[in-house]
Chain A
Amino acid sequence: MRGITTGCGLLIIALTLAVGGFLIIRGTVTFTVFRHSVSEFLFSPNWDPVDSAGGYGGHVGAAVYICGSLMTCALALLIALPFSLAAAVFMTEISPRVGAGFLQPTVEIFVGIPSVVYGWVGLTVLVPFIKNVFHAPMGGFSVLAAGIVLSVMIFPTITTISADAMRAVPQSMRTAAYGMGATRWQMIRGIVIPTAGDGILTGVITGLSRAFGEALAVAMVIGKTRAFPKNILYPTSNLTAAIAADMGNTASGGEYNQALWTMALFLLLISLFFIILIHLIPAIRKRRAES
């Protein structure tokens, strides 16, 4: 029994390392073999890699894609966070019975909806809506559409994790706050949210890393125009959409293909960064509390 569980654990570790190692090997070819600089990849908007086996000499500036990923995620967070916090507060503080019996399961169903469904609904409802209401220049395909679709996708993640953190706030702290004459709103604002802060932040980061890695739903509504958007009604492109669009057709081992692998490696590094951040939060908090 112990052997099996140990084996499974080791397998997961081995798999993760294998995927990571593979991405590092493939993703660094852009820099080692094709001699592009890391700063070109990160900051140049000039994307024109050569798509033929062994051909090179193009440009691999992925700044538009990176910027697109960052913008859509930031917008999604901006939209989702107020709703998530409000829902979590309602579920834990205002109406725990409705929250636990009705709202929580509903929110959890959201997590199970496949991303292609979100994308499709976005494409058929949201995109025409943005076109008609805001008169978006490119038929409604926009950063705004991508941000809204993503916000719906990360809303349940942030809500569930935040609600769990709020539930973990000791009842005695609430009682103490009421005892000092605090109103319910003062108690929520002054006691529950700050105390659950770590948990909320964990939820936010988990949501963000999901948003960053989401490809399908975003690709369907972002428009995939390779340019910085003038405002949120303009289309742009992002890392995952670019990889998904070109991975099957590019010549294997060519400059284009390797540049896509570099983008994949970059995505992995970002999500690693998020995960490390989640693990660091309690330690940072603790140190700050001590000093």
Chain B
Amino acid sequence: MKNNTLRAFAAAAALLVAVSMAGCGSVTGVPTDTAASAAPATAAPATSAPAATSAPAASATGAAATTAAGTAVSGSVTASGSSALLPLAQEAAKEFMATNPDCSVVVNGGGSGTGLKQVAEGSVDIGNSDVFAGEKLDASAAQGLVDHEVCTITMAPVVNSTLGVTNLTTDQLVSIFTGKTTNWKDVGGPDKAIMLVTRPSSSGTRALFRKWALNGQDEASNAALETDDSGTLLQTVQQNDGAIGYVALSYLVNAEGVQAVSIDGAEPSLENTNNGTYKVWGYEHMYTRGDGSAASQAFISYITGDVFSQKLESMGYGVTAKLSADAAAAHRN
């Protein structure tokens, strides 16, 4: 009897520890393959600082992978983080696993902050993020993470398609999103109240839009609807004829009832992003600890490689290698 009670106590204590750890975010649904996570320690000199990988370098590794595509890799890769990158990463995982049947790739969402934290702790192999690691982690945690800029993502202001506004200047856009302009007639539209639809203040999409479209000015949070995800944002814009919001191009591939708005005459498109005329875009990052396991490296090379690039563009993301020098230079912080 006494023994039983003791055992129960032990179980309770073990669970308590597990719970407090789960609360810290260090437990993921998928156990990390120990062999895979042990590998980077030897392969990766920690000297490679975050964000050091430049766009051309990323495309070079991509090319290398496509030539070596014949040899299948095995092992497991876990990734978590950015919801903007999630659809692409999941599609890539599906195709990657089809060509590498011995490899298992599991991609979860959770947000950029979560992805970066988990990769820094080693609980996932790849942390997906909309922002540079240094913005969400302290310096010691960010050190040792290697940045892979797997693709670009272009953000577009969207309005209801019945509104009839197709172009706004940066000044007008800033004025609208900071709550100064409240009627469409002031910016060349119909006499209709402007309804702001935004994303949460911690969102990567919002950070990107703030930096490149609004000249760093804060949106009027006290006059805007906030939606948790871009899908809901689009739906809200579809249902309200005075609404304006912003989403990634990947959400506009099959969207109906919404109109992407040009900024200063530049239409939001992959082409204009690549040639540098459209400015509201950012890199999507995949972070690994060190260079990452062999399987992680192969997976990242697959995403940036030629084979997948067509699929990538059809989903509305941009191929990093296609960026013109001008466009890349304008976004080097």
Interface residues of A (CB under 8 A from B): 2-4, 6-8, 10-11, 14-15, 18-19, 22, 26, 51-54, 123, 127-128, 131, 137-139, 141, 219-220, 223-227, 235, 237, 244-253, 256-257
B20 at the interface (CB under 8 A from A): yes
- Distance of A24 Cα from B202 Cα, bound (Å): 24
B13 at the interface (CB under 8 A from A): yes
CB–CB B203/A249 < 8 A: yes
Assuming the contacts A15-B19, A227-B223, asked whether A248 and B4 have C-beta atoms less than 8 A apart, the reply is no
CB–CB B225/A4 < 8 A: no
Residue of B8, B19, B23 touching A8 (CB-CB under 8 A):
B8
- Distance of A138 Cα from B236 Cα, bound (Å): 10
What residues of B have a CB within 8 angstroms of the CB of A256 in the complex? 202
Residue of A52, A128, A224 touching B136 (CB-CB under 8 A):
A52
Stretch binding the partner chain, chosen from B64-72, B112-120, B302-310: B112-120
What residues of A have a CB within 8 angstroms of the CB of B57 in the complex? none
Assuming the contacts A52-B136, A139-B239, asked whether A248 and B225 have C-beta atoms less than 8 A apart, the reply is no
CB–CB A4/B202 < 8 A: no
Residue of B4, B11, B223, B243 touching A139 (CB-CB under 8 A):
B243
CB–CB A139/B240 < 8 A: yes
Q: Distance in Å from the Cβ of B186 to the closest Cβ of chain A?
A: 18
Interface residues of B (CB under 8 A from A): 1, 3-5, 7-9, 11-13, 15-16, 19-20, 23, 25, 109-114, 117, 135-138, 141, 193, 195, 200-204, 221-228, 232, 235-236, 239-240, 243
Give 14 CB contacts A-B under 8 Å.
A3-B3, A14-B15, A19-B19, A52-B135, A127-B239, A224-B225, A224-B226, A226-B226, A227-B221, A227-B222, A245-B228, A247-B111, A248-B112, A249-B113
Give the top 8 A-B pairs by smallest Cβ distance, nearest first.
Answer: A7-B8, A3-B4, A248-B111, A224-B226, A249-B202, A227-B222, A53-B138, A249-B111
A-B contact count (CB 8 A): 133
- Distance of A22 Cα from B232 Cα, bound (Å): 33
What residues of B have a CB within 8 angstroms of the CB of A252 in the complex? 25, 113, 117, 136-137
CB–CB A251/B19 < 8 A: no
- Distance of A223 Cα from B236 Cα, bound (Å): 10
CB–CB A245/B200 < 8 A: yes
What residues of B have a CB within 8 angstroms of the CB of A15 in the complex? 12, 15-16, 19
Residue of A3, A54, A220 touching B5 (CB-CB under 8 A):
A3
Assuming the contacts A3-B1, A18-B20, A252-B25, asked whether A51 and B12 have C-beta atoms less than 8 A apart, the reply is no
Q: Which residue of B lies closest to A141 (CB)?
A: B225
CB–CB A225/B224 < 8 A: yes
- Distance of A19 Cα from B201 Cα, bound (Å): 27
Q: Which residue of B lies closest to A220 (CB)?
A: B232
What residues of B have a CB within 8 angstroms of the CB of A139 in the complex? 195, 225, 236, 239-240, 243
Q: Which residue of A lies closest to B237 (CB)?
A: A139
Q: Distance in Å from the Cβ of A243 to the closest Cβ of chain B?
A: 11
Q: Distance in Å from the Cβ of A285 to the closest Cβ of chain B?
A: 36
Apart from A3-B3, A139-B240, A224-B226: 15 A-B pairs, beta carbons within 8 A? A7-B9, A7-B11, A7-B12, A18-B20, A22-B20, A137-B193, A226-B222, A237-B226, A244-B228, A246-B201, A247-B111, A249-B113, A249-B204, A251-B113, A253-B138
